[in-house]
Amino acid sequence: MTPPPPTALASAPTMTPELDITLTKTKTTVKSGGGCGCSTKNDAANGMSETLKARIDKHPCYREEAHHHYARLHVAVAPACNIQCNYCNRKYDCANESRPGVVSELLTPEEAAHKVLVVAGKIPQMTVLGIAGPGDPLANPEKTFRTFELIADKAPDIKLCLSTNGLMLPDHVDRIKQLNVDHVTITINMVDPKIGEKIYPWVHYRRRRYRGIEGEKIMHERQMEGLQALQDADILCKVNSVLIPGINDEHLSEVNKAIRDRGAFLHNIMPLISAPEHGTYFGLNGQRGPNPKELKGVQDKCSGNMKMMRHCRQCRADAVGLLGEDRSQEFTKEKFMEMPADYSLQQRQAVHLSIEQTKTAVAKKKEAAVSNKRPINSPKVLVAVATKGGGLVNQHFGHAKEFMIYEVDANEARFVGHRKVADYCQGGYGEAAALDGIISTVSDCKAVLASKVGPCPKKELKKAGLTVVEAYDVIETVARQFYDAHVLEN
């Protein structure tokens, strides 16, 4: 019996998920134990209290482990913005959380509340409602807070989450606290206004537009004040920073220190996505984004100081579903306005209980592998994993739209990022061009782990020097089995 993939849960919400975590391996070429980075044991070792764990355990962004199981919903109720970022084109969603070039349908708070109740019924593992645009939520405080009020009243088990550029944050922390919004993200790209001058051409503050260093100073002071106020109010704060090579890449370790000193919980360093067709200042002027190695380098540099988020998908302002999937087209305004608001607390609690039991079973399996720890120095290698969620290698190579990247040594397998690819199987046929693209995207990895790989891609992957591992099991276990057989024994 195999555990239920979350996508199956999502498409059949009334189905009781199977809880048996007995894993059926279709084919495993190697043997022995695996490792885990997110266990209860590690929480205790990291000093994370039970109270804190309870606050983040079902939040797919604040808890890496949760993003395999729980989903988020964004509602696009906030159109206006009060600053200009050089990576933003106002035709599109706020690029502080979204991929550039994505447009969301604007909703009223009442429409948004209906959408939340519809999605909460159809996707009961949706645990978080986020407001992240399409402009800045706190440049539209009435619409943002009205939406939160409606949801807090009708769907009390849904966590409320907010993402902002921080300019108006200090004015609203009391209201945020009062509404029980427990998670706030601030995008902070600099703590030095001189660097800010290269990122923000202007800031609109208290009915006046400030250009240049004057505006950057206001921005910086307000962001630091807001962060401190969140800390004082005991609201969990994540900081997003957009990594812009040549502008703030060297500087982000200073940002990291400043936010840590003010109590930020998590740092999410995300890549600048920049192309001329986005029509942004950076895109039109040839500013490039970082490559995966550069991104990982900066994240690694900061990771000694505080917890880093590495699983961000730069979602759109109307994103729906697990972080790696986008179901927004199933819930367009035209569609969801016709659907019944069949939110049921009881049904949701039953599904969450099942998910928690599955998570415990997976965690136990990981923990058993950790007790196998061998204190030896060993080289680290990267592996690319095809997964539909649940913390498992459980996706066919040809269906993967992204690969999760794990760094593996003799003692552990650690999630370090994800890479998007064009799916190889399009309409049942393998695309040679897509395969070339996939191979080049994972060329720095030593292996591809998938539930199944077709003969043609298998041959090409091997030719490119990648080991192919076909298995259906906990990711860390498969990764370490591969390592033992193919790296340690060579």
Residue from 29, 42, 84, 231 touching ligand SF4 (CB under 6 A): that is 84
3-state class (DSSP) for residue 228: helix
Binding-site partner at residue 271 among ligand CLF, ligand SF4, none, CB < 5 to 8 Å by type? none
Residue from 85, 162, 273, 413 touching ligand SF4 (CB under 6 A): that is 85
3-state class (DSSP) for residue 435: helix
First vs last Cα of the chain: how many Å apart?
Answer: 35
Binding-site partner at residue 84 among ligand CLF, ligand SF4, none, CB < 5 to 8 Å by type? ligand SF4
Binding-site partner at residue 249 among ligand CLF, ligand SF4, none, CB < 5 to 8 Å by type? none
Find the shortest distance in angstroms from Cβ 164 to ligand CLF: 9
Binding-site partner at residue 314 among ligand SF4, ligand CLF, none, CB < 5 to 8 Å by type? ligand CLF
Q: How far apart are CA 467 and CA 458, in angstroms?
A: 9
Asked if 163 is part of the footprint of ligand SF4 (rule: CB under 6 A), the reply reads: no
Asked if 137 is part of the footprint of ligand SF4 (rule: CB under 6 A), the reply reads: no
Window 40 to 69, contacts with ligand SF4 (CB under 6 A): none
Q: Which long-range contacts (CB under 8 A, 24 or more apart) does 344-351 make?
A: 344/121, 345/155, 345/156, 345/157, 347/13, 347/14, 347/121, 347/124, 348/120, 348/124, 348/157, 349/157, 350/16, 351/9, 351/13, 351/17, 351/124, 351/125
Binding-site partner at residue 239 among ligand SF4, ligand CLF, none, CB < 5 to 8 Å by type? none
- Nearest CB to ligand CLF, comparing residues 161 and 438: 161
CA atoms within 13 A on the CB side of 268: 22
Find the shortest distance in angstroms from Cβ 152 to ligand SF4: 25
Classify the phi-psi angles of 206: left when phi > 0, otherwise alpha if psi is within -120 to 50, otherwise beta. left
271 DSSP β-pair partners? 243
Asked if 383 is part of the footprint of ligand CLF (rule: CB under 6 A), the reply reads: no
Residue 150 identity: L
Find the shortest distance in angstroms from Cβ 132 to ligand CLF: 4
185 DSSP β-pair partners? 163, 238
Asked if 136 is part of the footprint of ligand SF4 (rule: CB under 6 A), the reply reads: yes
Binding-site partner at residue 85 among ligand CLF, ligand SF4, none, CB < 5 to 8 Å by type? ligand SF4
Determine how many CB atoms are found less than 10 A away from the CB of residue 213.
Answer: 12
Asked if 95 is part of the footprint of ligand SF4 (rule: CB under 6 A), the reply reads: yes
Spatial contact of 488 and 410, defined as CB atoms under 8 Å apart: yes
- Nearest CB to ligand CLF, comparing residues 266 and 383: 266
Size of the site for ligand SF4 (CB under 6 A): 11
Asked if 106 is part of the footprint of ligand SF4 (rule: CB under 6 A), the reply reads: no
Given the DSSP bridges, would you call strands 126-131 and 71-74 parallel, antiparallel or unpaired? parallel
Window 19 to 78, contacts with ligand CLF (CB under 6 A): 61, 72, 74
Residue from 36, 66, 73, 81 touching ligand SF4 (CB under 6 A): that is 81
Here's the x/- map for ligand CLF, 236-255, by CB under 6 A: it reads as: --x-----------------
Range in contact with ligand SF4 (rule: CB under 6 A) among 76-84, 312-320, 411-419, 423-431: 76-84
Determine how many CB atoms are found less than 10 A away from the CB of residue 57.
Answer: 18
Concatenate the DSSP letters of all residues of 308-374 into one string: EE-------TT-EESTT---GGGG-HHHHTTS-----HHHHHHHHHHHHHHHHHHHHHHHHHHTT--
Asked if 169 is part of the footprint of ligand SF4 (rule: CB under 6 A), the reply reads: no
**Entry field: residues in the chain:** 490
Among residues 188, 201, 200, the alpha carbon closest in space to that of 264 is found at 188
Range in contact with ligand CLF (rule: CB under 6 A) among 27-35, 308-316, 391-399, 432-440: 308-316
Angle between helices 455-463 and 432-441 (to 10 degrees): 40
Query: Can you tell me which residue has the tokens 């070039």?
Result: 101
Residue from 224, 323, 362, 447 touching ligand CLF (CB under 6 A): that is 323
Range in contact with ligand CLF (rule: CB under 6 A) among 17-25, 246-254, 310-318, 347-355: 310-318
Q: How far apart are CA 328 and CA 340, in angstroms?
A: 17
Q: Which residues bind ligand CLF (CB under 6 A)?
A: 61, 72, 74, 97, 128, 130, 132, 161, 163, 183, 185, 238, 268, 312-315, 323
**Residue ranges that bind ligand SF4, judged by CB under 6 A:** 81, 83-85, 88, 94-96, 135-136, 165
